[in-house]
Amino acid sequence: MVKSIVGPYNMFRIIFIGVCFLISYDFYGQTYTPLDNLGELVKIKGGKTTIGNANFEDAQPLLQVKVYSFQIQKNEVTNAQFAQFVAATNYQTLAEKNGGSFVFQLDFPKDSTELENSPWWEFTGGANWKHPQGANSSIQGKENYPAIHIAYEDACAYCAWLEMRLPTEVEWEYAARQNGEVTQFNNWQGNFPYENTLSDGFMEAAPVGNYPAGKLGLYDMQGNVWEWCLDSYHAHAYHYASESKILSYKPLVPTGFDPYFQNEETKVIRGGSFLCAENSCRGYALGMRMRSSVEMTFSHIGFRCVKGKK
């Protein structure tokens, strides 16, 4: 499905670059020239590393891998950046085609029995990257927030437009480990899901780069929003992997179905989000893996792109 949409966007990009100095557009009162500020890249020098996490079953065993050099965007792709892509290509996201997306509900019953049967995620009509909480919401004033309700195919299309791609989970983890753990990031503060103390300043996603960068200058590699990777998810991917045959720029699992989700394909997401807490998820832990369906979109998933070997 992704391959069928990549070609036209590359072709459009070539035409588009030729006229980019003649065209501008207005986005909530700000005038943009297309291809302005589409994300600074940070060079990641290749090397050998250990990936995985002994605390999570699907991230075992630990693997020794060689990683080829690549470049990764400093920040998660923002609403303003995604808007430039849409303006250039008339692209329509999966959430827009589906008429809505899944939004996390922040109001929960206090009784744990009721909570167990409560829908945490609600399909909300009209929710998409431009309307994150539903048809009557807006991203005005949130131009520098990460684009959310982004499907795997949407992320692939955007990266291809820039002649880049999504990171493999090996590349993503390597960059995160080289960047180092940070002590301040956007996650759930308190007892999830009953109480969020907001000690980090945000109930939901925060503007990109709001918290301190890591050693490499990368922002939000922990928390804020989950980020898509190229790899299809399989709970036993690390068990089946052969260290000597791993190519860091190739997915560990290129395609296929996780045995627990046989009716739909899931892809790896990394980094955790504003919903991850110490008592739940802990997706911001280095090496922690998570999955999401390619057929669904959510208010806590975004992405960033890389440039490297293919």
CB 32 within 8 A of CB 268: no
Q: How many domains does the chain have?
A: 1
Question: What is the model's pLDDT at position 192?
Answer: 77
SS3 32: strand
Domain limits for position 300: 3-111+119-307
What's this model's pTM, rounded to 2 decimal places?
0.84
CATH number of the domain that residue 238 is part of: 3.90.1580.10
Measured between its terminal Cα atoms, the distance across the chain in Å is 18
Which run of H or of E encompasses 79? Answer: helix 79-89
Nearest by Cα to 269 from 155, 193, 142, 182: 155
User: What confidence tens digit (pLDDT) does each residue in 193-229 have?
Assistant: 777 777 777 778 889 999 899 999 999 999 899 999 9
Record the tokens describing residue 70, joined without a space: 């690549």
pLDDT digits (tens, 9 = 90+) for 20-69: 333 344 555 555 444 456 789 999 999 999 999 999 899 999 999 999 99
Kindly report the number of other CB atoms within 10 A of residue 26's CB atom: 9
Exposed/middle/buried for residue 302 (C-beta within 10 Å: 0-12, 13-18, 19+) = buried
